[in-house]
Amino acid sequence: MRTLRLPIALLLAFILSSFVVAQPGAQPGAQQPTPAPAPGAGPAPGGGPPQGGGRGRGGRGGGVAIQPGEECPSGMTEWRADNCRAPEFPAPSIVDYRPHSTVVATPHMVPKAKYGAVDYHAHVAGMLTSQESLAAFMKQLDSIGVQLALSADNMSGERLQRALEVVRNSPYKDRVRILTGISFQGVGPGWAEKAVAQLEADIKAGAVGVGEIGKGLGLSTKKADGTRLKLDDPDLDPVWAAAARLNIPVFIHTADPPEFFSPLDFHNERWLELALFPDRRWMTDQYPKVEELFAERNRLFKKHPKTRFVAAHLAWHGNDYGRLAKLFEENPNVYAELGAVLYDLGRQPRAARELFIKYQDRLLFGKDTFEPSEFPYYWRVFETADEYFDYYREYHAFWKLYGLDLPDAVLKKIYYQNAVRITPGLPQSGWPR
């Protein structure tokens, strides 16, 4: 029996060595990769590539074949045509991957708008409560080149009157205007008469329009009978008719970006934002579909051709300029505001520039959240031809922005001329020429 021990030992050694050499992804006789260097570690000794780098053509070889147009398996990426492989090192999470651009270009920063702008979408009610808060607010507007802020905070009744009083008793009465709000609670028999009466009283007090009508209208607000209040519900018609009679605009926010209604998976372009904000997830059966809301809104616009509507957030068609153009062509009474869609404008600059020039009479600047440090990003996109620069919120856009380099005549229209023209309650003089 002793004569069999050596051959068995040799056989076991051969099997073990074959298993080690034939690990997945390894080539026979190839050097095996070493563990990834620790974060912040420098290059390998001698200044060469990180240890485990292998050949310059890809190193480890191997991979998983896929069909043309097919996605790679989870955890892998296409490293050669129709072939996938996992990274050699642990992949960072979406919030930890922060590559630094190597583009070398001269930036053209724009701290102030070239022409004094109207912010048609300013949520600034908290700054209209005292002379002190208003004065501080004016300094912020001056620092970014905004000449007038239109408060879109749905103020009505006594709250509206108190804010108007603060503005009127200040040196800044031509720097702020206020939109009134409409309560859509309890819509049913008798509601319209009360709503119209309150609207008339608020306009008489000094409000210059209606808005911002929030996305709850259509999305979640219920009628008195418990059913969903649709945007084109006939019970609302007297209010829209009153706006036309009073010659005031209606600033309305309908739905949200289509991605907010889509499955929350890794194909969703706004995954990170939705993971951060649970109150922006509308993809459940509890809520209507986004296309249903858009259809109701469009029927509303068509049903009231004498009422001027301003669709907030570019009507959420910043990703589809053809659809926005169709909305404009079919509804001469509709305008669109630019708040919170800069990430869409800046990623398709040529198409956006063409849209702005063609529909220069239908677009109005607005910002939404009032954060002075963010306004210069808008000015830079609108006024320069800069390329490949950062957006101010990573969860909105993981891509870079490009400038539209708009002509001065277009800038004047979107910054203030269109707002003044469709909103008679704004100051009609004192604007840049």
Length of the chain (residues): 433
**Beta carbons within 10 angstroms of residue 224's beta carbon:** 14
**Beta carbons within 10 angstroms of residue 176's beta carbon:** 24
What CA–CA distance (Å, rounded) separates 393 from 356? Answer: 24
CA distances from 85 to 22, 70, 79 (A): 17, 14, 6
pTM: predicted TM-score of the whole model, two decimal places: 0.86
Do 412 and 115 form a contact (C-beta atoms < 8 A)? yes
117-422: which CATH topology?
TIM Barrel (3.20.20)
Tokens of 131: 């002379």
Closest by CA position to 396, among listed 350, 332, 339? 339
Radius of gyration, CA atoms only, the chain: 29
- Residue 249's identity, in one-letter code, is P
Please report the pLDDT score of residue 153 as a whole number: 98
DSSP annotation string for 173-189: TTTEEEEE----TT-ST
Please report the pLDDT score of residue 146 as a whole number: 98
Give the pLDDT confidence of 41-91 residue by residue, as tens digits.
333 333 333 444 444 455 566 799 999 999 999 999 999 999 999 999 999
Please report the pLDDT score of residue 62 as a whole number: 79
DSSP label at 206?
T
Please report the pLDDT score of residue 104 as a whole number: 96
**Residue ranges of the chain whose pLDDT lies below 50:** 1-56
Please report the pLDDT score of residue 277 as a whole number: 96
Please report the pLDDT score of residue 53 as a whole number: 42
CA distances from 177 to 172, 181, 194, 364 (A): 10, 13, 24, 15
Please report the pLDDT score of residue 59 as a whole number: 53
Q: Which residues of 78-109 are buried (b: 16+ CB within 10 A; e: fewer)?
A: eeeeeebbbebeeeeeeeeeeeeeeeeeeeee
- Residue 153's identity, in one-letter code, is D
Please report the pLDDT score of residue 54 as a whole number: 41
In 8-85, DSSP assigns E strands to 64-65, 77-80, 83-85
Please report the pLDDT score of residue 433 as a whole number: 82
